[in-house]
Chain A
Amino acid sequence: MSRLAAGPIIPSFSQGSSCERNNGWFCTDWLHQHWGDTLQPALVQHVELTVIAVGVGFGISFLLALAGFRFRLFDLPIGVFADLLYTIPSLALFQLLVPLTGLTVTTVEVALISYTLFILYRNIVAGLRAVPDEVLESARGMGLTRLQTFIRVELPLAVPALMAGLRIATVSTVSIATVAAFVIPEGLGEPIFTGLQEDLFKTEILAAGLLAVALALGADLLLVLLARALTPWSRLT
């Protein structure tokens, strides 16, 4: 893609510390200089890309899961559609979308959201279906309506599976979102691509890569803690 060639040139090997001039593994002085103008903005953009993708993906998956759960007839076609989306390699999917939505954040988000559907849809439906029969029978026998059963019983009992899906979707979206730099100069993929172009500037590639890993782990930890807070009953045996 043409815009990559026009990107800002970082670093300039003619200047900077000896570490930078020798393309050292991890030049801390470069990190100090470029945290503010390169790494931090990329990290924030990466978080934005991920949050939007997982958030919108969750919303769509939830609605689809309601349909697939309530009307079993829809489950198979929705599931197969999500499977198909998931099997398209991300670079190919970007290429397919560019003619439609251009080199925009929309292209990136449509792709990222598509990948979350498979994981989230399957997990939400599985969680709703996993409610034990005797729990549903007692709910019915006690006179809960269909809606009350859904809101008070099925939905809360699906939360562990739903949170497990969110964790996988979030971690994989953090990873896939680095490829977004093929389309737009945003996210942690951007410093990685720049580093690759600039004679493999190791510090930049390594630093952005490590940030992506840390972001994935941090997000996962946050979701684990959230799941524990939401489902105090599920860790008991």
Chain B
Amino acid sequence: MPSEAAELVFDEATKRYPDREDAAVDRLSLTVPAGEICVLVGPSGGGKTTALKLVNRLIPLSSGDIRIDGVSILEHDLTELRRSIGYVIQQVGLFPHYTVEGNIGVVPRLYGESRSWIKARSAELLELVGLDQSYARRFPAQLSGGERQRVGLARALAANPPLMLMDEPFGAIDPIVRARLQDEFLRLHRDVRKTVVFVTHDVDEAIKIGDRIAILREGGVLAQYDTPARILEHPVDDFVADFVGRDRALKALALRTLDELELAPAGAAEDGLPRLPAETSLRDALALLVAERKDALVVTDADGTPRGTVTREDLLG
């Protein structure tokens, strides 16, 4: 079975449909380093989902190539290729007639794993995605939307694939549960470093989830491929600037935390200033200063010990 994270390379990958003049994906070239999360984002018609499905050949390439650890997807046997790639979709697509454990076991069974192996793996993955062991015997119809997507994630991870494709996995889930699933997904990703391609139409989700973001514009053309901070701070053109939004400066602040700043020594003047732990984002810190009408705040350790102070100007860089 597959294991370590793989490097993914799009090399002039192109998808054209015979009945359409514009390409769906137009000479897309980008490299996702092993173990990183690459988010494909853009307006509808930008070809993000098409680009994702080119990887596991649910949609065949028209021209160009896609390589996983240097090997072209065209050289792999089709079913082998798909089994070695975790696939998560918005509507989840759990098998309604299989229990949660049965669903998690679909790909391992294709690899010929034993029943006991699948049982143990399912228990391990339920824990990883934050579901109680009692869920193993349940059917999908007995789960909430958020629980189904956790099972969908567990199922995609079951055979330990080096690469995961996730097509708007949290798109159909209410905002509160979505935020929690995003947090848990990031925590999970720190544990099981996989290479992930993640499609979303939500730029905030892209900024939160992505190590790198690829912004696609209509016609499937790559507008910019960069880290979230660089896209927010240095959008290459008006299209990207518009797409990430007028509040991109604020969004950029949300990516940084107080402990990245140089602190002035805490002095006598700290009395009456608001106090915040060092892992607070600059955006939240700024929001607090605005709300309390203050110009500076005290940065503390997790236990409340003061480390130093920062001013509003420090926050804004």
A interface residues with partner B (beta carbon < 8 Å): 132-145, 148, 152-153, 156-157, 231-234, 236-237
Contacts and interface: CB of A to CB of B under 8 A. Distances in A.
Given A134-B89, A134-B91, A140 B82 contact: yes
Given A145-B79, A236-B142, A237-B141, A138 B93 contact: yes
* A-side interface mostly: helix
B92 interface: yes
Interface stretch (B60-68, B94-102, B173-181, B275-283): B94-102
A142 B58 contact: no
Contacts of B82: 140-143
B95 A135 contact: yes
Contacts of A231: 97
Contact of B110 (A140, A144, A234): A144
B83 interface: yes
Contact of A137 (B85, B89, B98): B89
A110 to B, nearest CB: 36
B106 interface: yes
B150 to A, nearest CB: 15
B261 interface: no
A153 B93 contact: no
Contacts of B85: 141
Rank and list the top 10 A-B pairs by shortest CB-CB distance, nearest first: A138-B93, A143-B82, A143-B83, A134-B91, A141-B87, A134-B93, A236-B141, A143-B79, A233-B139, A233-B97
B141 A143 contact: no
Contacts of B165: 141
A138 B241 CA distance: 35
A26 B78 CA distance: 71
A148 B106 CA distance: 11
Interface in B18-74: 56, 58
Nearest to B92: A134
A140 B58 contact: yes
